[in-house]
Structure 1
Amino acid sequence: MRELHSTRDTWHLTHSRPDVLVDYFNPWTPMTRQISQLTHRFGMVSALCEQVSVDEKLLELRNALAFHLLRAATWWRMDFAAPRVAGMPTTRFMAHIHAHIDRVAMDETLFDVLTWQHHMRRDDPSHVMVLGTDPLCRGGTSILYGLDGQRRFRFALHAADTPHVTEWDDAAHTDFVSTCLAARARHGVVETGREALGEWDDARLEHARAAKYHTLYFRQDTTRPVIDRYIEVLGEMTRCRSRFGQFEFGNILNHVAFQLVRTAHERQVSIADVLREGTTQPINLRVANSIKKRARAHVAHGVDPLLREGLDAMLDNVVAGYSLSDQF
């Protein structure tokens, strides 16, 4: 048994590192998958840390995953509560984070900006902690990202001929993706000397609409049927004009579809039965099949790969439904 634990420990030390699981500066990486990976790996590593004799490196990994789970929720502005998300009391979860930041100075600085601001001019928008550069940026101008004293994300453009001059743009946002979209729009203007493409404006407006769904990602909405949310998000996606908006709302729609199919599985009914509860409209078999297809897309692209086999099996056991209506 100890050999089995050692094998698992070694695997996680290689494959469950936060830098492997999260790409903070690339908004095209589905945030649902990254959050799923952090949450699931934190749970798995925490369980391994309950062993009588545990490797110190594994404890450090658990603590790092706790910190990055909180960082990711802040990065994408998701409501976070340790008991609901991490499955443990807040005090215990925060103890893991403090153990991590005691070891990693950069993360301690970021945590300070997000909390007490002992090292910042509190609430000062002109005092900005540098977070990093945009890895996808092209051309002679680079993009620098930061977090200011009001805990808002900022960006600055660095021209090749003045790399040491940093003038932070006045625009400030409560989530990173909003700042990234604004930065890339501005970057395009500087690089081309032309007005920003309309798609950037569309992407920013569409992300603003999507942000509320990200905020509530960890919350289970029991106030209305899941199908209502599915129809709402589907409507939002069809309104999107930018590629990023379609990508973002497509991922949200896949997640809601998965929640709907999981509800059917938990109740041991068909997808059609769940749909009937939330609408008086006739249910077409194609709709139920489309929802199941989107649920599969969520499992394929929006969850930790370690969960896929079990979730695919769950989806296999849920039927779309037959004789749903007279409309075939």
Structure 2
Amino acid sequence: MRETRSALATWHMQHSRPERLVNYFDPWQPVARQLDLLSNRFRAIRALCDGQADTAMAEDARLAALCDSLAFHLLKACVWWQVDFSPHAVTGLAATSFMAHVRRHTDRMVEDETLLDVMTWQHYMHRTDASHIMVTGTDPLCRGTTTILYGIDGRRGFRFAMQRAGQALAWNDLTHTDFISACLNARALHCLIETECTAIGEWDLAREEHGQASVYHTQHFRTPGQANPVERYAAALDQLSRCHSRFGRFEFENIVNHMAFSVVHAAHAQGASIADLLRNGAQRPINPRIAGSLKKRARAHVSTGTDPLRRTELDGLLKQVETGFALSDRS
């Protein structure tokens, strides 16, 4: 048992560091997958830390520090993408216990301590002052002579600025509730500045469609247990069909897959088939013939939207749920 725990600890130290799990500045990384990685690795490592007390002190200290780091980044990610977060619902810990992990991390990392303050209590910020901004980083995908900087202001809003060599930094006046909104706006303006891009309509559509997608991001951790999963799946599928921007389609493909998994999860909990839920789980009639395609979308969510460490468990759940329609895929 001790050897198994030591091997798991070594593996997590190599593969579960937050910088390997999440990319805050790339909006093309699925939000659901990054949240699942952070939350699942935190739970797994905390269980290891609580499992045995007879291992080497140095190993325990490193593992505990990684657990604390994951707690901080889980909180940061939820602020970054405006996701509702209940420590108890997501991690099984009371808020005070979870925040103890976060504070132990920020005690070791001064920059993260400052960021935590900006995202939460704002003891060091000019609270409610939109002109007081902490720089959080630069856009790694920028090309050309103009750099995009991102920050969080005294209203806890996400901001961006443009800077050219030899010129003063100029913060845009708009405040955004999540990073992706700020990023899309920044890249649209960057496109105009650098290339005089005439395809601004694509950016306008992306921003509008992200506004619709952000509602689903906010409810990410509430999705599996929410009422009317079939209604939510149908609504997301309808919104996907009306997306015209490349980014909007990217976000809603992932959201629809997540909603499909929530339908399968509900069917499993109720001991019903997918077709049964489609017949009875929505106010508007939904053809049960789509049960097979819905299950394929659920599989896609497991494959691209969850922690690979959960694949065996989630694939097993999918196999236990029948589509319930004779012409559909029953596997």
Question: TM-score by structure 1 length?
Answer: 0.94
1:81, 1:219 → 2: CA distance? 10
**SS in structure 1 at match of 2:140:** coil
Alignment partner, residue 118 of structure 2:
113
Does the aligned pair in 2 maintain the 1:272–1:324 contact within 8 Å?
no
Does the aligned pair in 2 maintain the 1:185–1:196 contact within 8 Å?
no
Matched residues, number: 322
Alignment partner, residue 32 of structure 1:
32
Q: CA deviation at 1:193?
A: 2.5
CA displacement, residues 149-182 of structure 1 (integer Å, 9 cap, x when unaligned): 11000001122x326x211111110100000000
Q: CA deviation at 1:268?
A: 2.4
Alignment partner, residue 207 of structure 2:
204
1:42, 1:188 → 2: CA distance? 38
Alignment partner, residue 77 of structure 1:
82
Alignment partner, residue 181 of structure 1:
184
2:149, 2:101 → 1: CA distance? 30
Correspondence list, 1:233-244, <5 A: 233-244=236-247
**SS in structure 2 at match of 1:218:** helix
Greater helix content: 2
Q: CA deviation at 1:324?
A: 8.3
**SS in structure 2 at match of 1:219:** helix
Quickly say closer, same or farther: Cα 1:253–1:282, change in 2 above 3 A. Answer: closer
CA displacement, residues 41-92 of structure 1 (integer Å, 9 cap, x when unaligned): 0000001111214510111001000000000000000111110111111110
**SS in structure 2 at match of 1:303:** coil
1:75, 1:115 → 2: CA distance? 12
**SS in structure 2 at match of 1:131:** strand
2:237, 2:38 → 1: CA distance? 27
Alignment partner, residue 281 of structure 1:
285
Q: CA deviation at 1:220?
A: 4.3
Quickly say closer, same or farther: Cα 1:5–1:222, change in 2 above 3 A. Answer: closer
Q: CA deviation at 1:283?
A: 2.7
Correspondence list, 1:49-198, <5 A: 49-50=49-50, 51-53=52-54, 55-159=60-164, 161-162=165-166, 165-195=168-198, 197-198=200-201
Does the aligned pair in 2 maintain the 1:284–1:324 contact within 8 Å?
no
Quickly say closer, same or farther: Cα 1:222–1:5, change in 2 above 3 A. Answer: closer
Alignment partner, residue 214 of structure 1:
217
- The unaligned stretches of length 5 or more in structure 2 are none
* Percent identity of equivalent pairs: 52
**SS in structure 2 at match of 1:142:** strand
- The unaligned stretches of length 5 or more in structure 1 are none
Question: TM-score by structure 2 length?
Answer: 0.93
> Bigger shift: 217-226 or 25-34?
217-226
Alignment partner, residue 311 of structure 2:
308
2:316, 2:100 → 1: CA distance? 37
Quickly say closer, same or farther: Cα 1:152–1:196, change in 2 above 3 A. Answer: farther
